[in-house]
Amino acid sequence: MPAAARYGDPAATLDVLNDVLRVQLAHRSVRRFGPRDVSDDELAALVAAAQSASTSSNLQVWSVIAVRDPARKARLATLAGNQEFIARAPLFLVWIADLSRVHRLAERAGTQVAAVDYLETTIVGFVDTALAAQNAAVAAESLGFGTVFVGAIRNRPAEVAAELGLPPHAVAAFGLAVGEPDPTEPAAVKPRLPREAVLHRERYDLSADVHIAAYDERLSAYNARFGLDGAWSDRALARLAGPESMAGRHRLREILERLGLPSR
């Protein structure tokens, strides 16, 4: 059952299920790809799905760059922590929080967009970008492709901006590798926290944390299947331990300001 796989719990069920939900519940990260390319028609469909996502005040402050060139993918793979699957994916989509377009609009109109310099607008840019990209990921998986998001594109944002020719007021938020899943890749649907740990009713309920212990056991068992170790709690705490665990991203505010997003 899709719910059992999603939660790593044989007893987990869903009484509501349709084709869209089946695609969403079957999501897994794919880092090994087969020979099938992503056609321009399929790319157009992914972008149309992305543009169908909600957007704050219809500002649409995002763009996406489709990267197919092997040399450019290889350079981006190096910038994103030497993740070679980026180079091997037939299509790498770099999602841009793009506040440059409204700046150009203001220049042509002879006016200002001073609100762009505030944190709220930066957040809108990243939120809009994420909503659009998630739509595209679901669309890709509905077409039989596999995907994986790449947050490490933020490890060296200035270099990524130069590689992609980004104008001021635009920054790469994350990447999305897209391609046919290689059936030999040892991967599966990774269990998520129990529904009871994340679903609160009316008010936040601190007692929901009681469900984390069971999840730690399930994720430890999942990780052991693939030669990994550590419970979710251990890995989450290690990932957020401090600046040393952030792969350079602790400098993001400073770099955003240099790229024209002061977020004051």
Q: Output the domain CATH number for residue 35.
A: 3.40.109.10
Residue for token pair 């400098």 = 251
Report yes or no: 149 and 174 within 8 Å, Cβ to Cβ.
Answer: yes
pLDDT value for 146? 97
Looking at the domain assignment, is residue 180 inside a domain?
Answer: yes
Looking at the domain assignment, is residue 143 inside a domain?
Answer: yes
Backbone angles phi, psi at 174, to 5 degrees: -175, 170
* Portion of the chain with pLDDT greater than 90, in percent: 95
Band (91; pLDDT cuts 50, 70, 90): very high
Q: Rounded to an integer, what distance in angstroms lies between the CA atom of residue 64 and that of residue 67?
A: 10
1 pLDDT above the threshold of 80: no
Looking at the domain assignment, is residue 74 inside a domain?
Answer: yes
Instruction: Identify the domain containing residue 107 by its residue range.
Output: 29-186+248-258
Looking at the domain assignment, is residue 49 inside a domain?
Answer: yes
Looking at the domain assignment, is residue 73 inside a domain?
Answer: yes
Band (55; pLDDT cuts 50, 70, 90): very high
Question: 169-218 pLDDT, tens per residue?
Answer: 999 999 999 999 999 998 899 999 999 999 999 999 999 999 999 999 99
Nearest to 98 by CA among 133, 68, 70, 139: 133
Looking at the domain assignment, is residue 51 inside a domain?
Answer: yes
pLDDT value for 24? 96
Number of domains, the chain:
1
Backbone angles phi, psi at 73, to 5 degrees: -60, -40
Q: What's the whole-number mean pLDDT along residues 144-158?
A: 97
Looking at the domain assignment, is residue 6 inside a domain?
Answer: no
Looking at the domain assignment, is residue 222 inside a domain?
Answer: no
Structure tokens belonging to residue 94: 């770099």
Cross-sheet strand order for the sheet of 62-67:
62-67, 91-98, 170-179, 146-150
